[in-house]
Structure 1
């Protein structure tokens, strides 16, 4: 694709993003975007096809900014602490860019997610896999990732829909910690825990640690045996 076209596309996306930020989804009309970017309607249709595809491209544009901030977050020796920081970054991004966030998450529909959306989920799964590697995960990586994403997105959309002066400042932290308690286990079993709860949590975390350790590794098992082992480990984790 010629450099000029890439430059035009970037200019259009920047103009659309600015309109979205100032006026929400309804402000992003092809006429308004064309006027702001200094391009004619045929150029917009050639680049994006229609308004819905333009909005999808703007959502992707927003995802790229979010992913860049997640990459800058880095990692430490504390995978659960890293997940906490990732949660806070996610919520903070949504509250600082609400129009982008609603476009990215508030208009969900079944279908193939964008590459950026898939990368965001992959990064979350990598964070949770590190918790499993440390023997601290109580459920499967996939289920834990779905729980974190569902709770984080739901919370952020709720906060966006609430007037700033009416928001509970502790709600995000309380929700985050509730989810963490549901998917992770303490390093040491609680002596005051109800009978049977300690060993169950330990078995679940060990099962998921083994599942994560074997992922992608060359082990002397047939394909059918690997499927059966994965089923057993997931059952123990539940």
Structure 2
């Protein structure tokens, strides 16, 4: 993510969480409108009034959930992260998917690149501030990967390895989309190779004999 000012901290950007189904649906419309407007005009041209008009809601409904457009993009980034994890979990659960961590790495990269290409607003904000949300993603990976991880999920070395893997993949995939709007296939393939090779130093048992 570049060029979008971010709020301090890793909160969701919401002033209040919706309680009723109607409020939840309205919030989703607001975030969908935000995503579409980001794709069309970028962050500088985004405004809460434009979001309200696109979502078909009163401006007060936007301010009920968000203090400003920065909070809107924070919430969109957090929704992107949740959707990414849901999509990855669904892929991992498909019948016939290999139950190993290397397959999981490939699926994680594939789902990220798919969202980068197709999810509204994702190309600009993806998961938010790398220094914050990359750590959030790393913290959530052990639960996502489950038994695919051959080491104790509480091992501090695993946590460090996942943070480094996420940070490295983020930088490499940003490069892939900087050189090709659709994502350079060669860079994407090499990203998978790079992450698998590094994680093998932590996740694979040492050679014997």
Answer yes or no: same fold by TM over 0.5: yes
The equivalent position to 1:16 in structure 2, one of 29, 34, 40, is: 34
Deviation readout 1:153-208 (Å, 9 max, x if unpaired): 1122122222448x6432222232123222215x999xxxxxxxxxxx448xxxxx
* Aligned twin of 1:88: 110
Change (3 A) 1:45 1:169: same
Pairwise CA distance, 1:109: 5.4
Richer in helix (by share): 1
- Within a 5 Å distance, the mapping from 1:103-142 to structure 2 comes to 103-105=125-127, 107-108=129-130, 118=136, 120-126=137-143, 127=145, 130-133=148-151, 140-142=157-159
Pairwise CA distance, 1:70: 0.8
* Aligned twin of 1:207: none
Pairwise CA distance, 1:65: 2.4
Deviation readout 1:121-177 (Å, 9 max, x if unpaired): 34423438734349xxxx921122112201211122122222448x64322222321
For the pair 1:102 / 2:157, whether they are aligned, the reply is no
* Aligned twin of 1:145: 162
Q: State the aligned residue count.
A: 182
For the pair 1:154 / 2:171, whether they are aligned, the reply is yes
Q: Distance in 2 between matches of 1:188 and 1:31?
A: 53
What is the root-mean-square deviation in Å for CA atoms of aligned residues?
Answer: 3.5
- 1:132 match: secondary structure: coil
Q: Distance in 2 between matches of 1:128 and 1:84?
A: 16
* Aligned twin of 1:31: 49
The runs of at least 4 consecutive aligned structure 1 residues that moved more than 4 Å come to: none
The equivalent position to 2:189 in structure 1, one of 142, 167, 173, is: 173
Whether the aligned pair in 1 keeps the contact of 2:109 and 2:192 (CA below 8 Å) is: yes
Superposition TM-score, scaled by structure 2 size:
0.69
| Greater RCO, 1 or 2 (C-alpha within 8 Å, sep 6+) | 2
Between structure 1 and structure 2, the one with the greater Rg is 1
Unaligned 5+ segments in structure 1 are: 190-200, 204-238
Unaligned 5+ segments in structure 2 are: 1-18
Whether the aligned pair in 1 keeps the contact of 2:92 and 2:107 (CA below 8 Å) is: no
